[in-house]
Amino acid sequence: MFIINYMLNFINYIGKRGKLLDGSVITTKWFCLFLPLFPLASFRLWTEGEDIRTFYQRKLFVKSLTVEIPLDLINITFIYSVYFFLFAFASYLFRSNTFILIFSIIFICVYSLHIFLKYWERKLYEIDKTETYQCSKCKSKFNVLKLNIAHGYFQCPKCKTVNLL
């Protein structure tokens, strides 16, 4: 009942990637009609010490700093691979060999893409030591993650404000 209640809503925030090195999490806004059909936008949240435990949510947390980022392909491929696995398992339960084969192949392809993207992004979790950035509020200087440079913003570790690069 819990998941059906969320899936009857047309717009949901589904998935979260665990806390990144700067304390933020990434979630994706989806258009849903019982299942997530296509992603609309991805967001990066700084929750100010709160731990996000839900996989499905209808709206973003009120006490969070939020920045819209380009679509997070790692999160999207993971969500699609979960649903294709469930479709393959349901086909197995209904003894439909054709659909077992189709959904299993799609699952393997999408999950392989997910693993590849996750491995490729690993280099973005390094700190860029070639350039120093300065916070616009507290004027402290520090190096930031390459992931933050790719997204175009960072959170100051001292005053917790989100700055654009």
Q: How far apart are CA 64 and CA 153, in angstroms?
A: 16
User: How far, in Å, CA of 87 to CA of 77, rounded?
Assistant: 15
User: Can you give the residue range of the structural domain that contains 140?
Assistant: 126-164
Q: Report, as an integer, the average pLDDT of 62-70.
A: 72
Residues 98 and 78 in one domain: yes
Instruction: Give which of 65, 44, 50, 69 is closest to 160, Cα–Cα.
Output: 65
Single out the residue in 32, 52, 71 at which a domain terminates: 71
What rounded mean pLDDT belongs to the chain?
Answer: 80
Phi/psi of residue 15, each to 5°? 85, 155
Could you tell me if 7 and 49 lie in one domain? yes
Q: Is the pLDDT of residue 3 over 60?
A: no
For residue 102, name the pLDDT band (cuts at 50, 70, 90). Answer: very high
Answer with the residue of higher pLDDT: 70 or 59. Answer: 70
Burial 50-72 (b: 16+ CB within 10 A, else e): eebeeebeeeebeebeebebeeb
Are 134 and 111 members of one domain? no
76 with 64, same domain? no
Question: How many structural domains are present in the chain?
Answer: 3
Question: Based on the domain organization, do 17 and 67 belong to the same domain?
Answer: yes
* Residues 16 and 63 occupy one common structural domain: yes
Among 36-45, 85-94, 96-105, 154-163, which is the least confidently predicted range? 154-163
Phi then psi for residue 63, to 5 deg, are -90, 35
Q: Tell me which of 134 and 92 has the higher pLDDT.
A: 92
Instruction: Provide the pLDDT for residue 109.
Output: 96
Indicate whether 13 and 54 sit together in one domain.
yes
> pLDDT tens digits, residue range 21-54?
667 788 888 898 878 889 999 888 876 655 565 5
Contact criterion met (CB below 8 Å) for 147 and 125? yes
Does residue 133 share a domain with residue 120? no
Helices and strands, counts by H and E, the chain = 4, 9
